Structures are given as structure tokens and as C-alpha cells.
Structure 1
Amino acid sequence: MNPSCLQYALTEEERRTFNEQGYLIMENALSPEQVEILTAQVDRIYESKIENGHDSKTALFYPNFIPDHHSFLELVDYEKILPKVWGILGWNIYLYHAHMIATPPSGQEKNDKTFGFHQDSGRVNIEMESHPRPRLSLKVAYFLSDISEPDRGNFWIVPGSHLKDNLEIPKNREGQPEGAIPVCVKPGTAVFFDRRLWHAASPNWSDITRKVLFYGYGYRWIRTKDDMTVQHLWESSDPIRRQMLGASVNCNGHYSPTDADVPLRAWLKEHQPEMVDK
């Protein structure tokens, strides 16, 4: 990893925003050229799924897309993004989950029904004995389509709700929870969000298809959330990318890692030592 990536290190203002609000927006994270290349690959996959029977009127949720094209792989340790991820979570991390979503126009009338607000990680939120629940992971969402206006299948969030174990849902499930807002961003924007942030997808009442790539980073002792068939990419990857793709010396290395398990730690000792506590 080139030390020049440290120009994108997490700032104290960004840390404060993420800790207080549970999310962080980075505009122009992707160049127009990157957006064009990634969009072409999402379109290719989406069209192939439709050819194989996917309903063109429903959203496509497609996990484990990293091996499908090198442009997806390049974002695993993207220099503008990964420094902010380790700035929040530390060095004992990897990509435990990735999925793309393409949400076509719903063709339905707009209504005010409450969206499906949730925290990520399923049973973790039931079985972890702590308050507030632990952060454990975050996601980075790369937006490829223009959702700078509402009603385009926007991702909805409740800022600051990552510190709440429960969310009050409106009676009769009409309207959205207090404080909920749509995330309205331009193509090329990256949105970081804490897994605990209460959030929801929404119907696409527009005439464009919403396209987003989600990269989930968590601690290396967390199991993968999808198949993550990326092992064949390890050999051609540099050490830090291999770590992000889940490589390890042995199982115990997920709990008591050596430098061989976590080359990011050794790199940080040299280039950003304040990020290495022990």
C-alpha cells in the first residue's frame, strides 16, 4: 500500500461525526471514470440475472460479487476509503461481506408506509449482552446512480440511532420513525455507516434504476456473511489486500494474530504508528 493513501486518513472531525451520527458521507470518492466502469459491470450482471429469470421489476440483491470483475476487487483496499475504515475499526479487520443492489422503478404509487428499519447483523443484536450494542463492523456504500433527490429508492437512516437498541416505529406503520431522513447523494459518493445505525431501503418511485455497491468490513474473528469465494484471488494480491480478503496463517490467527496474519499492523507501525496500540 502506497503511503500516499494517508492523505485520506480519518480526520478528528470525521471521527467525531461518525461516533455521534453513526455515518459519514464522502463525496467524489469515485471518479467519473470509475463510476462508468463499475456501472457497466453492474449492468452486465443485472442483465444476465434477468436473462436467467430474475424479475426485472424487483430489486436485485447480489452478494459475493468481488470475483466478478477486477474493478470490484480494486475497491477492497481502495486508497481513499480503507484508511478511514481502519481509522474507525483498527487494524484487525477484513471484508466479511459484500453485496450489490440494483433497484429498478417499482411502477407503484407512492405511499407512506413505514420502511423496514433495522440494524445489521441479525442474531448479534439479540445475543450480545451489552448496551449499547457493540459496533463490530461498518459498511461502505458506493452509489453509482444519481439519488440526489428523494423517491429514488434512497437509503433511509436515523442519525444518531446507532446508540439505541430499539427504534420506535409509528403506530399502524404509517410514516417513518422520528428523525429518519433519506440519504440523497450524487454518483461517486461513498457513505460509511455503523452496522448499528437504524436504516432501511425504500421503494423506487422514480424512473431511474438505483445502483449501489456495499462493502462490509468487520473484525477478523467475525464469520463471513456470504460465501465470499475470493480465496483464488489471494495469490495475486499484495499482503494487505490478502488480509482484507480473509487470508490467515491459521484459525488461531483470527483471535491472536501475528504480523503474518495482519500485515496491515506492520505497515501502520511504520507509516501511522499512532494507529497501533499493541
Structure 2
Amino acid sequence: MKELLTMGMEASPEKYLPHLITEEERTHFEENGYLYIPNALSTEMREQLIHTVDTSYNKALATGRAKPDSQWGWSDFLGADAALLNLVDLPTTLPKVWGILGWNIYLYHAHMHVKPPAAPDAEEGEGWLEWHQDSGRVNIEMETHPRPRLSLKVGYFLTDVSEPGRGNFYIRPGSHLSDMSVPESEISRDPREATADDVPDDAMPVCVEPGTAVLFDRRLWHSRSPNNSEMTRKALFYGYGYRWIRPKDEMTVEPLYDRCDAIRRQLLGAATRNNGRYVPAEEDVPLRGWLIENLGDDPTLAMGPRHA
């Protein structure tokens, strides 16, 4: 299957401008903590991504990094295929990301996830919901209310999760503004001990067609669920945060810089100096210059509510 290559933002602004966040989308995200983007992936790109995920999963099975009939995840994958790298600045989703977070952003977190049918998991009624906010100790050590947003994720659903029971993730709309308690003793992993035996009244499964992207605020309380279907759920999650946030995963990105334009390099974490993440110069944040060039000196819809 051929590689899908993109020209990047600098060479093709016309691909991005039609997808700026709308006020209706912004309001929905601010109030509910999530946003669906149907058809974010073309059929061709989705097929390439499925092929890439299958190839990676099969390699993991062959080497023992994945176990048959068990769920599997991998983070350091951006260099495995051009289609995975192209998602970093996908025209249908990145304008929504910068519209919410602004321009001083990068990809601090990514994971590939495969969940086969009947992968070992707790059943409903046995603590199968592990409600949590992302970012671990951020939720303990940030002394503000509500906790700060800091980042968001874009989930790309490659397979059909349009019905419950297919390994859907559950969300509690509006809960990003509610600081439920988390255990202060948590050290080695994210605080996922807010475990429930049944589905809260305010929770819902994310049911979307293949090729849909789902943006969600890192503060949104969410959970896994079992895959009781006959299909294998395949999804990719890309987390964007401010450039002064440390990477959450092992991410081998520097060797990819030669294949990227300046904006994609920013999104992969490039910086002229460490302080450029806090006090950026123009060369640290080419995304900002792109926004000004293409949308004017006050691109309100492009730069997020805090930057308007």
C-alpha cells in the first residue's frame, strides 16, 4: 500500500482554513468537554492507518510485546509510517486544536490502541469502569478550581464503534469542570481508583462511525469499557498540550524533523532553546506566524478564547 504524504501547513493553507473552529463548536466543547468531528479521516487514509496498526500489532504479537486476545497499546510510533506522522497536523482536526488551546502547542502524548473481542477485562458490575482525568499527579498538585485544561486529546476511531459494547470509551459530559477527588497517595500511575460497578446516570458511551475524530478535554472524566463484539477496536490518540509541558511518553521524534516543515517540527516539540517553550521567539512558534499571515493580526477563531 502506498504511503500517504502531505505537503504540510506552510505549502497548503487552503486545506486548513475551511476547518476553523466555529462558535457553536467552541461552545459545545467548553460546556461539555468533548467534540465529534465526523469524517475527519478520508477512506484512503483510514485504510492506510488500519494497515499500519495491523502491521504494528502483528509485529508486537510476533515479538511477545502483545498477547493474543489481549488489549495492546504502543506510544512511540510516529516514525512507523507516514500516515501516522500526517495525523500530527491533520487539516480536519488541528484547526480545532489551536482554536481551543492557541498556538504555543505541541504533541506531548500519543498512543495506539488495539482491543480484540473479549479481551480480558472486568465485566459490568465488577468494577469495569475506571473513571479518571488524564495527566496523573497534575490533578493532585494543581491547586486551582476547576483544574486547568492544559491539554486535550484527539481520538481517531478507525473501526466502527457506532454501537455500545465495542470497547467504546465512556465520558461524563460537563465533568471537566467538576473536581472529583483523587487519591493523594498515587505515585506509579494515573489516578484511576475512582472505580464504579455500574454506569453513572450522567455517563455515555462514545458511539461514532469509523473515521470520526473525537476531541476531549484532558479534565473530562472518562473510562474504558469491554469489547463484547466480534470486531477488534482500533484507535489512535494524539494529545496536544502547551510547549512547556514535558512529554508524557517516549517519543522518538528528532529523526523525523528532516521530513517535516517548520510547523510540524514545532508540533513534534522542536525549540531553539528551553526558554523558548515559555517565552517563544518567532522561530519557536511558526504556527503563530502562519495564523497571522493567513487570518490577520487578530485571528480570534484561530487562536483560542484566551488569545482573542
| TM-score > 0.5 by shorter chain | yes
Q: CA deviation at 1:173?
A: 3.5
Residue 103 of structure 2 contacts residue 288 of structure 2 at CA under 8 Å; is this kept in 1?
Answer: yes
**After superposition, where does 1:211-226 map in structure 2 within 5 Å?**
211-226=234-249
Does the residue aligned with 1:66 lie in a helix, a strand or coil?
A: coil
Q: What's 1:84 paired with?
A: 96
Shift of the alpha carbon at 1:85? 0.4
Displacement of 1:45: 0.6
Among 223, 237, 242, the residue aligned to 2:260: 237
In the TM superposition, residue 118 of structure 1 has moved relative to its aligned partner by 0.3
Shift of 1:110: 5.1
Root-mean-square deviation (CA, aligned residues, Å) is 1.9
Q: Which ranges of structure 1 fall in alignment gaps of 5 or more residues? A: none
CA distance in 1, matches of 2:69, 2:195: 27
- Between the aligned partners of 1:130 and 1:240, the Cα distance in structure 2 is 32
Question: Per the alignment, in what secondary structure is the counterpart of residue 164 of structure 2?
Answer: coil
Match of 2:13 in 1: 3
| Residue 125 (structure 1) aligned to one of 139, 148, 156 | 139
Structure 2 residue identity aligned to 1:10: I
**Identical pairs, percent:** 55
**Contact 2:162/2:207 (CA < 8 Å) preserved in 1?**
yes
Superposition pairs for residues 78-117 of structure 1, below 5 Å?
A: 78-106=90-118, 111-114=124-127, 115-117=129-131
Q: Could you tell me which amino acid in structure 1 is paired with residue 13 of structure 2?
A: P
The alignment status of 1:161 with 2:175, answered yes or no, reads: yes
Task: Tell me which of 70, 81, 86 is aligned to 1:58.
Answer: 70
Residues in 1 aligned to 2:163 and 2:181: alpha-carbon distance in whole angstroms: 25
Q: Deviations over 1:216-260 (max 9, x none)?
A: 000000000011111011122101001001000000100000010
Alignment of 1:166-185 (within 5 A): 166=180, 173-185=196-208
Deviation at 1:271, TM superposition (A): 1.2
User: Is the contact made by 1:167 and 1:198 (CA closer than 8 Å) also made in structure 2?
Assistant: no
Q: In the alignment, does 2:18 pair up with 1:18?
A: no
Judge conservation of contact 2:169–2:222 (CA < 8 Å) in 1. yes
Cα separation, partners in 2 of 1:253 and 1:165, compared to 1, 3 Å: same
Once residues 172 and 221 of structure 1 are traced to their aligned partners in structure 2, the CA distance between those partners, rounded to angstroms, is: 31
Greater CA drift, 39-48 or 227-236: 227-236
Q: Which moved more, 1:268-277 or 1:41-50?
A: 268-277
State the AA in 2 paired with 1:116: E
Show the counterpart of 2:186.
none
Please state how far the C-alpha of 1:3 moved relative to its aligned partner. Answer: 2.3
Aligned counterpart, 2:226? 203
Amino acid at match of 1:3: P
Amino acid in the other structure paired with 1:244: L
Task: Give the drift of 1:132.
Answer: 0.2
1:125-176 deviation digits (Å, cap 9, x = unpaired)? 000010000000000000001011111100100000000110799x993212
Q: Which amino acid aligns with 1:111?
A: E
Query: How many residue pairs are counted as aligned between the two chains?
Result: 277
Residues 110 and 205 of structure 1 are in contact (CA less than 8 Å); yes or no, is this contact kept in structure 2? no
TM score, norm. by length of structure 2: 0.86
Please give the alpha-carbon distance, in whole angstroms, between the structure 1 residues aligned to 2:115 and 2:219: 23
Query: What is the TM-score with the length of structure 1 in the denominator?
Result: 0.95
Aligned residue number for residue 30 of structure 1: 41
